[in-house]
Each structure stands twice: as structure tokens, then as C-alpha cells.
């Protein structure tokens, strides 16, 4: 991405900006502010609304005609005290499943990217192409097969059958290669080969080169892939809803959906509180890593 300096060299700059009439100002810059404000309002209005609903102690959707008229934390209290809908457990399940699966994704992806980037072997080009093709088919397309597969596996090894977090994590790991490997492969290629060669000469094993030299140098892409994987996994509804049926084992996506699936209006306040708690950490991390993510995205992937 080139720097923003290139874009400043518009002819407007050559015109002295001392006295600008309103019309002129509007034509050059004012309309941009109008557009920006409109876009910003469009973007944040639903988010502000959900925050307001979360803080509104009335708890229902009906009768809300203005934002932030009543403010209280009752919804958050209710959220953690419903034994039929254990939000706390959902949060923990989501964290456990999301973190384990995304850590696994990063590790498997990094191993594969290391092999593709540093080694030349028969079938390498074919494997890369196959990955490129396979990543076009999201796993949720095969949800029926995955359901039946886990059902079968559960008869053999109950610990990875339907209804288990471990089974779900393994399914997610099936999507670990693909987009992620591509992102990492590109990044690994930017680390000069001479580094690992010199380490090899000093007697490092291939594992030491991988863990001690390459991985520390590619931390940014590991963070990005980890975050993208975590976002993707924690917002997966299709596979999680099919695999996890017991409320105690469900994730946030499945659980929060059940909150409003039947009675959207009555549970609205509590749902909104849950939504805020679920979204804030992800959004904070996302904004923190925004720069890396956007550069990763521009090089060819979509939020999944």
C-alpha cells in the first residue's frame, strides 16, 4: 500500500487556500464531510441502538422511542442468572473452542506454510493449487455430511462425537489449511532464506529454525490469522448449532440465537446485553490489529 502522500498531490493544493468561499469549500471538502457523517451514522446507529437496549432496564423491545432514556445494569444481572440459558458457560465454551481451534489453525497453517515456503518437493505445486481450490468451498456446505460423520465417530470414540466440543474443534481444524496457509505462505516468503541457512550452518535443526527463527519473525501474520480464525469460528452458527445441542455446551452464536429465536421482543434487553459482551472484546482486538488485517485482506481473502 503506498503512502497517503501520493494522494495529496491533487491540484487543489496548488490553489491558495487562504480565502475560500463556502460554495468553493463545500465543493472541495464540505461534501466529503457530509458523506462521511452520513456513512458514519449509518455504521454506528445499530451499534448505538444495541448498547442502549442493553442498558435499558425495561428489558423488552416494545415502547422504546428514544435512546438511553433509562440506564441500568439489570439486563446484565439477568443475563448471568438464567439457568436455562447459561450465558457464562456459553462465553467460556466460545473462548475454549475458539482459542483452541484458532491456535490449532495457526499452528497447522504455519507448519504447512513453512513446508511450502522453504522446501521443494514433488507435488508441491499441486498441493498449493489444491488448497487454493478447496478454500473456495466453505465447510458449512458439507454440514449434513459433517453431522453424520460426527455421529458415526461418536459411536467409535464417544469423546469426539456429536455434542462434544472436541468433535467441533476437530471439524474446524479441517478448515485450518486454505486461506490461512496462503496468507502465511506469502508472509513466510518475505523472510530471507539466508537467515535459516546461516542458522543451519550453526547447527540448528529444522525444528529450531522453524520455532526459533521463522515463527518469531512472522508473529504479525500469526496474530492476524489467529484473530481471523477466532472471529470466523466464534461466529459460526451452522456447524456449531448442528453439533452442539445441549445448552450447557453451546457457544455464544448458538445460545444467543436461541435467546431471540422464539420470543424476540420479550428477551430483547438481555439479548442486547449478551451481544454487547460478546462483541466488545472482538471489536477491540479487531481495531487494535486493524492495520495488519487490512493489509492481509487486500492480499486476497474475505472475512469468513
The residues in 119-158 that bind another protein, with binding defined as CB under 8 A, are 119-121, 124-125, 127-129, 132-134, 136-149, 155-157
Work out whether 191 is an interface residue with another protein (CB under 8 A).
no
Site size for another protein (CB under 8 A) = 123
177 makes contact with another protein (CB under 8 A): yes
Q: Alpha-carbon distance 239 to 136, whole Å?
A: 17
Output 39-44 pairs: Cβ under 8 A, ≥24 positions apart. Answer: none
Q: Which stretch binds another protein (CB under 8 A): 18-26, 70-78, 205-213, 214-222?
A: 205-213
Distances (CA, A) of 78 to 60, 72, 87, 204, 207: 13, 12, 10, 56, 50
Q: Determine the interface stretch with another protein among 75-83, 84-92, 213-221, 249-257 (rule: CB under 8 A).
A: 249-257
Instruction: Give the nearest distance from C-beta 298 to another protein in angstroms.
Output: 5
Beta carbon of residue 81, minimum distance to another protein (angstroms, whole number): 21
Contact between 24 and another protein (CB under 8 A)? Answer: no
Helix then strand count (H, E) for the chain reads 17, 0
Residue 78 CB, nearest approach to another protein (Å): 17
Give 194: exposed, middle or buried? Use CB within 10 Å, 0-12, 13-18, 19+.
Answer: exposed
Task: Give the residue, chosen from 98, 109, 184, 187, that forms a contact with another protein under the rule CB under 8 A.
Answer: 109
Q: How far apart are CA 123 and CA 251, in angstroms?
A: 39
Task: Tell me which residues in 72-91 interact with another protein (CB under 8 A).
Answer: none
d(CA 84, CA 106) in angstroms, rounded, equals 34
71 binds another protein (CB under 8 A): no
Binder among 106, 162, 214, 260 for another protein (CB under 8 A): 260
- The backbone region for 68, taken as left when phi is positive above 0, alpha when psi lies in -120 to 50, beta otherwise, is left
Amino acid at each position: 500500500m503506498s503512502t497517503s502522500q501520493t494522494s495529496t498531490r491533487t491540484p487543489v493544493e496548488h490553489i491558495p487556500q487562504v480565502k475560500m468561499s463556502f460554495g468553493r469549500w463545500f465543493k472541495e471538502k464540505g461534501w466529503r464531510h457530509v458523506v462521511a457523517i452520513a456513512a458514519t451514522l449509518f455504521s454506528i446507529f445499530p451499534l448505538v441502538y444495541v448498547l442502549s437496549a442493553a442498558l435499558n432496564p425495561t428489558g423488552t423491545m416494545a415502547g422504546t422511542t428514544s435512546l438511553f432514556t433509562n440506564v441500568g445494569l439489570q439486563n446484565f444481572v439477568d443475563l448471568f442468572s438464567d439457568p436455562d440459558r447459561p450465558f457464562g458457560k456459553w462465553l467460556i465454551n466460545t473462548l475454549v473452542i475458539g482459542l483452541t481451534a484458532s491456535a490449532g489453525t495457526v499452528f497447522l497453517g504455519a507448519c504447512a506454510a513453512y513446508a511450502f515456503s522453504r522446501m521443494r518437493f514433488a507435488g508441491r505445486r499441486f498441493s498449493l493449487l489444491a488448497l487454493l481450490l478447496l478454500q473456495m468451498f466453505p465447510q458449512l456446505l458439507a454440514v449434513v455430511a459433517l453431522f453424520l460423520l460426527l455421529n458415526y465417530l461418536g459411536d467409535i470414540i464417544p469423546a469426539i462425537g456429536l455434542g462434544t466440543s472436541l468433535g467441533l474443534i476437530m471439524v474446524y481444524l479441517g478448515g485450518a489449511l486454505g486461506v490461512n496457509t496462503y496468507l502465511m505462505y506469502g508472509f513466510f516468503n518475505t523472510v530471507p532464506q539466508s537467515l535459516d541457512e546461516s542458522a543451519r550452518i550453526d547447527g540448528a535443526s529444522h525444528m529450531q529454525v522453524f520455532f526459533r527463527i521463522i515463527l518469531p519473525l512472522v508473529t504479525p501474520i500469526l496474530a492476524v490469522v489467529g484473530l481471523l480464525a477466532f472471529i470466523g469460528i466464534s461466529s459460526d452458527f451452522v456447524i456449531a448449532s448442528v453439533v452442539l445441542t445441549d445448552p450447557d455446551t453451546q457457544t455464544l452464536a448458538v445460545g444467543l440465537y436461541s435467546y431471540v429465536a422464539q420470543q424476540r421482543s420479550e428477551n430483547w434487553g438481555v439479548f442486547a446485553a449478551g451481544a454487547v459482551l460478546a462483541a466488545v472484546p472482538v471489536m477491540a482486538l479487531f481495531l487494535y490489529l486493524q492495520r495488519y488485517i487490512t493489509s492481509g485482506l487486500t492480499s486476497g481473502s474475505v472475512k469468513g
